[in-house]
């Protein structure tokens, strides 16, 4: 068992707590105001190592724990460091919590779910092709006589982009019409 080593000395504690918004209500989220890690979690540098701020906050109130465990949020607010909102769990506990609260890809209510607010095809902010062009590319390639590189030059994109359109890794929401059937 490898324990965390996140106990703070006086100087590090002053630095840590200066980065937390402290509301008057002790049950409210105490939001990390400094740098954020992936997913919006607070990041704190301790002994030259970047650590999630909520893990450091947990140790200050409850003590060291096995590093294999996760520190979960009951409030579902990644930058929150309020120890009252934090509890230990396994990776499986974290996944079960995610499913129970509708935060998995493809679940109704998730902003990335099909039919949700996730932008696909030409509506995606990074799209280089229109939906019509994607359908054209698939039809031209299916007809034969043209390479992905040639299609890339014709449409002004890399051949990798063409490959993803053809293999339906991109623009997968589009349905081709063939022989009058959808």
Q: Are residues 145 and 78 in the same domain?
A: no
Residues 14 and 93 in one domain: yes
Assess if residue 22 is contained within a domain. Answer: yes
Which residues are registered as beta bridge partners of 2?
none
pLDDT score of 110: 52
90 with 128, same domain: the answer is: no
How far is the C-alpha of 67 from the C-alpha of 111, rounded, in Å? 31
Query: Which among 129, 151, 132 is positioned nearest to 140, based on CA atoms?
Result: 151
Say if residue 74 is in the same domain as residue 142: no
Angle at 119 between CA 108 and CA 147, to 5 degrees: 125
State residue 120's pLDDT score. 78
Model pLDDT for residues 89-115, shown as the tens digit of each residue: 999 999 998 888 777 765 555 555 444
**93 and 32, same domain (yes or no):** yes
We report the CATH number of the domain holding residue 33 as 3.90.75.20
Number of structural domains the chain divides into: 2
**Whether 131 and 86 share a structural domain:** no
Same-domain status, 149 and 90: no
Residues of the chain under the 50 pLDDT cut: 113-115, 179-182
The candidate with the shortest Cα–Cα distance to 79, out of 57, 109, 104, 101, is: 57
Task: Name every residue whose Cβ is closer than 8 Å to that of residue 5 and which is 6 or more positions away in sequence.
Answer: 47, 64
Residue 111 lies in a domain: no
Q: Does residue 49 lie in a domain region?
A: yes
Both 87 and 138 in one domain: the answer is: no
Is the residue at 106 inside a domain? no
Query: Which of 181, 94, 146, 113 shows the shortest CA–CA distance to 166?
Result: 146
Please tell me the distance from the alpha carbon of residue 158 to that of residue 110, in angstroms, as a whole number.
32
Whether residues 19 and 96 share a domain: the answer is yes
Instruction: Assess if residue 182 is contained within a domain.
Output: no
Does residue 25 sit in the same domain as residue 57? yes
The boundaries of the domain holding residue 135 are 121-166
Question: So what's the pLDDT on residue 91?
Answer: 95
89, 152: one domain: no
Q: Please report, to the nearest 10 degrees, the dihedral formed by the alpha carbons of residues 38, 33, 71, 86 taken in order.
A: -150
Question: What local confidence, expressed as pLDDT, does residue 117 receive?
Answer: 54
Residue 118: predicted pLDDT: 63
173 domain residue, yes or no: no
Beta strands in the chain (DSSP E): 43-46, 49-52, 70-73, 86-89
Q: Does 79 fall in a domain?
A: yes
Give yes or no: residues 74 and 34 share one domain: yes
How many other CB atoms are there within 10 angstroms of residue 138's CB atom? 19
Does residue 113 form part of some domain?
Answer: no
């Amino acid at each position: 068992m490898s324990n965390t080593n996140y106990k703070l000395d006086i100087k590090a504690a002053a630095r840590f707590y200066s980065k937390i918004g402290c509301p008057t209500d002790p049950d409210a989220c105490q939001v990390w105001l400094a740098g954020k890690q992936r997913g919006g979690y607070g990041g704190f540098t301790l002994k030259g190592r970047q650590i999630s701020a909520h893990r450091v906050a947990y140790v200050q109130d409850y003590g060291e724990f096995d590093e294999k465990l996760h520190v979960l949020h009951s409030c579902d607010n990644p930058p929150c460091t309020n120890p009252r909102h934090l509890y230990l769990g396994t990776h499986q506990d974290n996944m079960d919590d995610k499913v129970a609260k509708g935060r998995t890809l493809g679940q109704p209510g998730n902003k990335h779910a099909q039919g949700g607010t996730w932008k696909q095809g030409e509506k995606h902010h990074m799209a280089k092709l229109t939906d019509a062009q994607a359908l054209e590319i698939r039809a031209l390639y299916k007809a034969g006589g043209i390479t992905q590189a040639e299609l890339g030059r014709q449409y002004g994109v890399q051949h990798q982009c063409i490959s993803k359109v053809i293999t339906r890794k991109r623009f997968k929401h589009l349905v081709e019409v063939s022989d009058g059937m959808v």
